[in-house]
């Protein structure tokens, strides 16, 4: 059933309009039939201009695309929980959390997360949390169908603060127009989406008085010093090491004695070594004595599956891209960054950087094809614009709020939790995530400077998959259980 506004192409216009398509559906979750409404469309963002204190008409600046799912037959929808969701990049659309984890439809994958050959298929998502919370998936400006108005400078919105303001304005508008200010409110973000989520928690409560009940942070990128391999920054080699170990263990690249161990037991040992002996050795720099250096090299060989000669050549600091190429180089294979369980072959086996990420290559076609078919065919929203799954914005993203230092929103999160003592945090980590490793996330949260009582409001979970751990069947089963408990 479709209730739709007149067809209009969602293209940059002089006077853009809000355009929506409304359809009704049902799904069975835990044996219970759930009826819900899908609202798919665009919201025009306007910016007020004033001159010498005199307010002028609000000027349209951009058109933001969204897909919302609301439960039918609810006595008081204003009291029902609502979750605003997006992915990261910067430059990624919301398709991954939408059709991978949270939404009522998901891309059909095998139990390990392989997409297989096209054509691809969407299936009912029995793990969706639509039974617990309404869902709104947001595509930030420059992603999905979200576009600037003709004549506006696209790059203006590709900046940490401007991105927060535009997404925050959408959330404010949606809550106001749909009378959801009284609802329990959550934000779900993945990767850079966790950066955005923490920034929004601060912006929304300080600018609009909109306090969140919870943040769902999936594959965290909060303190970029823990993730950036730069000369003089010895945190990443330490914090990535446990994920190197998990990856080598998965591909059976460790010595037999280590391969026989349970992964979680092995990782505990590696984390103790990384935080202790290894970090102390890197701190010592060139003053490290030969005997201690040899001991460190031997342990790194045990924990990474790399050769002693290679580790020596890196000055004990193994870069993530080098690791992806080196681990299985003798087989001519490269492991994935987003999910190191996946592997593929590059044209050049001798390089230091992969030609493409095997884990992303596995999923891009399936999510792109199903999203385009689903929006037009099922949700009845028509646009001739290309849907941008991912736009390469990271290298041109504006970071002026963090000039001359690493981007870090952990402090924003700490302040938001202090100002709002009821804010709860769910954290999801994948053991095979080489983009945002679990040990780096642990380090970040261990340095929030929260007292023990407040730290109890942060629940951290670990899953046997990568950055998008929900593509792995056992992991999405566990995530669905953990998310329902968190929302409840």
CA distance 381 to 22: 9
Question: Using CA of residue 261, residue 265, residue 268, residue 269, what is the dihedral sign?
Answer: negative
CA distance 454 to 421: 8
pLDDT, residue 157, reads: 86
Per-residue tens of pLDDT for the chain, all 488 residues: 344 333 334 344 445 789 999 999 999 999 999 999 999 999 999 876 555 555 555 788 899 999 999 999 998 888 899 999 999 999 999 999 999 999 999 999 999 999 999 999 999 999 999 999 999 999 999 999 999 887 777 678 899 999 999 999 999 999 999 999 999 999 999 999 999 999 999 999 999 999 999 999 999 999 999 999 999 999 999 999 999 999 999 999 999 999 999 999 999 999 999 999 999 999 999 999 999 999 999 999 999 999 999 999 999 999 999 999 999 999 999 999 999 999 999 998 888 888 999 999 999 999 999 999 999 999 999 999 999 999 888 888 999 999 999 999 999 999 999 999 999 999 999 999 999 999 999 999 999 999 999 999 999 999 999 999 999 999 999 999 999 999 98
Distances (CA, A) of 22 to 176, 258, 379, 468: 19, 55, 7, 29
pLDDT, residue 8, reads: 37
Token pair for 132: 């617990």
Question: Count H helices, E strands: the chain?
Answer: 15, 17
CATH 3.40.50.1820 intervals, the chain: 2-225+363-487
Q: What is the pTM of this model?
A: 0.93
Is 3.30.56.10 the CATH classification of the domain at 2-225+363-487? no
pLDDT, residue 12, reads: 42
Q: Comparing C-alpha atoms, which of 297, 262, 52, 93 is closest to residue 191?
A: 93
The total of other beta-carbon atoms located within 10 Å of residue 80's CB is 17
Angle, to 10 degrees, between the axis of helix 290-304 and the axis of helix 263-273?
160
Name every residue whose Cβ is closer than 8 Å to that of residue 392 and which is 6 or more positions away in sequence: 91
Which parts of 274-328 fold into alpha helices (H)? 279-284, 290-304, 308-313, 320-326
Strand 458-463 relative to strand 424-430: parallel, antiparallel, unpaired?
Answer: parallel
| Region for 286 from its dihedrals, namely left if φ exceeds 0, alpha if ψ lies in -120 to 50, beta otherwise | alpha
pLDDT, residue 48, reads: 63
pLDDT, residue 393, reads: 84
Distances (CA, A) of 256 to 19, 167, 374: 60, 50, 47
**Is the distance from CB of 88 to CB of 140 less than 8 angstroms?**
no
pLDDT, residue 488, reads: 87
**Is the distance from CB of 244 to CB of 238 less than 8 angstroms?**
no
pLDDT, residue 75, reads: 87
pLDDT, residue 57, reads: 56
Strand 147-148 relative to strand 458-463: parallel, antiparallel, unpaired?
Answer: unpaired
User: Could you give the 3-state DSSP secondary structure of residue 40?
Assistant: strand
**Is the distance from CB of 307 to CB of 330 less than 8 angstroms?**
no
**Is the distance from CB of 333 to CB of 344 less than 8 angstroms?**
yes
**Is the distance from CB of 338 to CB of 466 less than 8 angstroms?**
yes
CA distance 133 to 138: 16
Biggest CA–CA distance in the chain, Å, is 76
């Amino acid at each position: 059933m479709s209730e739709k506004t007149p067809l209009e192409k969602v293209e940059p216009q002089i006077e853009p309009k809000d355009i929506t398509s409304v359809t009704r559906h049902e799904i069975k979750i835990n044996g219970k039939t759930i009826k819900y409404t899908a609202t798919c469309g665009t919201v025009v963002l306007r910016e007020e201009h004033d001159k010498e204190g005199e307010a002028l008409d609000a000027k349209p600046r951009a058109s933001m695309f969204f897909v919302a799912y609301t439960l039918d037959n609810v006595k008081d929808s204003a009291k029902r929980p609502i979750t605003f969701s997006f992915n990261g990049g910067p430059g990624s659309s919301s398709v991954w959390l939408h059709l991978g984890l949270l939404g009522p439809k998901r891309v059909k994958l095998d139990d390990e997360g392989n997409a297989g050959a096209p054509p691809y298929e969407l299936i009912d998502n029995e793990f969706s949390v639509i039974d617990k919370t309404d869902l709104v998936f947001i595509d930030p400006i420059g992603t999905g169908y979200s576009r600037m108005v003709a004549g506006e400078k696209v790059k203006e919105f590709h900046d940490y603060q401007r991105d927060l303001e535009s997404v925050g304005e959408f959330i404010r508008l949606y809550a106001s127009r749909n009378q959801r200010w009284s609802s329990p409110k959550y934000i779900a973000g993945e990767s850079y989406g966790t950066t955005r989520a923490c920034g929004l928690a601060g912006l929304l409560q300080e600018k609009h008085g909109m306090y969140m009940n919870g943040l769902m942070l999936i594959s965290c990128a909060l303190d970029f010093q823990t993730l950036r391999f730069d000369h003089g920054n010895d945190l990443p080699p330490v914090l990535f090491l446990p994920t190197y170990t998990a990856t080598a263990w998965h591909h059976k690249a460790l010595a037999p004695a280590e391969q026989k161990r349970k992964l979680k037991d092995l990782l505990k040992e590696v984390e103790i070594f990384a935080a202790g002996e290894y970090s102390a050795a890197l701190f010592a720099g060139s003053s490290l004595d030969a005997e201690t250096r040899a001991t460190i090299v031997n342990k790194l060989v045990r924990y990474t599956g790399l050769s002693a000669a290679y580790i020596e050549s890196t000055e004990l600091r193994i870069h993530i891209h080098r690791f992806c190429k080196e681990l299985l180089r003798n087989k001519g294979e490269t492991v994935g960054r987003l999910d190191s369980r996946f592997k593929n072959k590059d044209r050049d086996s001798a390089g230091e950087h992969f030609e493409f990420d095997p884990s992303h290559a596995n999923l891009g076609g399936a999510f792109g094809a199903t999203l385009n078919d689903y929006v037009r065919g099922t949700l009845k929203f028509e646009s001739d614009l290309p849907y941008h799954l991912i736009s390469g914005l990271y290298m041109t993203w504006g970071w002026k709020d963090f000039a001359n230092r690493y981007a870090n929103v952990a402090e924003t999160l700490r302040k938001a939790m202090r100002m709002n003592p009821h804010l709860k945090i769910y954290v999801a980590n994948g053991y095979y995530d080489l983009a945002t490793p679990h040990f780096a996330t642990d380090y970040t949260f261990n340095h929030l400077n929260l007292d023990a009582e407040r730290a109890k409001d942060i629940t951290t979970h670990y899953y046997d998959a990568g950055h998008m751990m929900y593509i792995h069947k056992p992991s999405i089963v566990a995530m669905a259980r953990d998310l329902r408990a968190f929302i409840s």
